[in-house]
Structure 1
Amino acid sequence: MAATSAMESVPATALRSVLHRVAQAAELSGRCPDQVKVVAVSKTKPVSVLREVYDAGHRCFGENYVQEIVEKAPQLLSQISPWWRVLMMRRPYLYLQIANHLDRAVGILGRNPLKVLVQVNTSGEISKFGVEPSGCVELAKHVCLNCPNLEFCGLMTIGMLDYTSTPENFKALANCRTEVCRTLGIKEEQCELSMGMSADFEQAIEMGSSIVRIGSTIFGAREYPKKQPN
């Protein structure tokens, strides 16, 4: 957990609070706090703000857009967690063809396998990306068997915007993991569940989430450029 300082920044203080809440939720779920990863999502925030969280001891970061990673990653130290790349998979949702394209691209770069999470649209909203729950087994199996440059690490989802049905969404993802692990012949502990964000991460952890994605609670509201008047 991040250390307390008399001159601690607002994001660092917020991080410390989040880690405390995560630890409490993990204990309620019967797990140790270190079994839940906190991905600090710094979308739209400058590197200077992100560094305040980095300097507080955090090493797990995420972005929604490739261009932000390209800009920010080189400005931080190499010790940053490889989970930096996890949220890259949210926008180009992983269908078979896209998985193949990504696999070839990573192979051309000649790098280690890229960790990926398969996003599942558990709420059925047309505004959400992700494969339908009925298709997650086929997609996960395809990544494992046919994409040597990708490392399947688990499943992720985003709950309803009004959070009225997140228990059902979270339960649906847990059910998907059961099916995926049965098909792949792996233990459920080997398959990450990424669910829960700023407004519902404690509930998600209590329902089995092993990766939570926290943005505004740590960094404050997102800052989008204002549109110029015509």
Structure 2
Amino acid sequence: MAAAAPVVEGVAVKALQSVLHRVRQAAERSGRSGNDVRVVAVGKTKPISLIRQLYDAGHRCFGENYVQEFIDKAPQLPEDIQWHFIGHLQSNKAKSLLAAVPNLAMVEGVDNEKIANHLDRAVANIKRKPLKVLVQVNTSGETSKSGVDPSGCVELVKHVRMGCPNLEFSGLMTIGMADYSSTPENFKTLSNCKIEVCKAIGMTLDQCQLSMGMSGDFEQAIELGSTSVRIGSTIFGPREYPKKQ
């Protein structure tokens, strides 16, 4: 495994402060306050010491993408962290994730009924409070992306709301295309899904969160209505993946 790059004291904290400033500016451009947008700092492949720096600076909302890495990290960090699991979760890993991370605040995102059912049973088995979930929508139509097709979004949300009493439907999430020039349409598609979902289940628009926007496009996402952005490399620096032997 390649050695991780040394952590430079304070660099991530300054990067986070810069991101929060940009978030506030984008929120104001959309007619909202910066407090209306949650910043999930995604520490995928990054050391615990770096996450701890941000925690010590006052940040509390963090995300991870890989179950095993998440299970290894979370118990070594403070219990008041609001953890988010981001992306496709294999149904056979739902139980182990919930057992290892009791302070898991949200799963972004549920993309089919099977994983919804597994999460629902796992929450019931460990007798924790209902788990907040976002339904993941594949707004770009890319086969490499997880997520329910926009046309099936309402039905999946209804299943979570009606068939999974231990889950709390909190909103929708998407991952835009790699070509950032095309993401406005992805974001607008998710906003349209939100309108359809809220109408179908009797939820007010302000109750339904939209998680869209990452390091390359979060300002645009906020301007188009995002209430939660997932920022990794802009805060933590480039990902550090093990080199194949």
TM norm structure 2: 0.87
The number of residues matched between the two structures is 219
How far apart are the structure 1 equivalents of 2:73 and 2:128?
A: 20
Q: Which runs of structure 2 are paired with 1:107-186 in the superposition (5 Å)?
A: 107-186=124-203
Say whether residues 1:219 and 2:236 are aligned partners: yes
Q: Which residue of 1 aligns with 2:112?
A: 95
Q: Which residue of 1 aligns with 2:14?
A: 13
Q: Which runs of structure 2 are paired with 1:27-46 in the superposition (5 Å)?
A: 27-46=28-47
How far apart are the structure 1 equivalents of 2:115 and 2:175?
A: 20
How far apart are the structure 2 equivalents of 1:153 and 1:176?
A: 14
Query: Is contact 1:86–1:117 with CA below 8 Å preserved after alignment?
Result: no
Query: Is contact 1:170–1:195 with CA below 8 Å preserved after alignment?
Result: yes
5+ unaligned residues in a row in structure 2: which ranges? 1-7, 91-109
Q: Secondary structure at the match of 1:118?
A: strand
Query: Is contact 2:209–2:228 with CA below 8 Å preserved after alignment?
Result: yes
Q: Which residue of 2 aligns with 1:3?
A: none
Query: Is contact 2:61–2:84 with CA below 8 Å preserved after alignment?
Result: no
How far apart are the structure 1 equivalents of 2:36 and 2:142?
A: 30
Which digits, 9 at most, give the CA deviation of each residue in 1:97-148, with x for residues without a partner?
A: 2211221111111111111111000000000000000011000111011101
Choose 187-196 or 101-110, whichever is displaced more.
Answer: 101-110
Letter in 2 for 1:90: H
Which digits, 9 at most, give the CA deviation of each residue in 1:8-56, with x for residues without a partner?
A: 6100000000000000000000011100000000000010111111111
Query: Is contact 1:86–1:116 with CA below 8 Å preserved after alignment?
Result: no
Choose 23-32 or 97-106, whichever is displaced more.
Answer: 97-106
TM norm structure 1: 0.92
Choose 155-164 or 196-205, whichever is displaced more.
Answer: 155-164
Higher strand share: 2
5+ unaligned residues in a row in structure 1: which ranges? 1-6
Say whether residues 1:48 and 2:46 are aligned partners: no
Q: What percentage of aligned pairs have identical amino acids?
A: 68
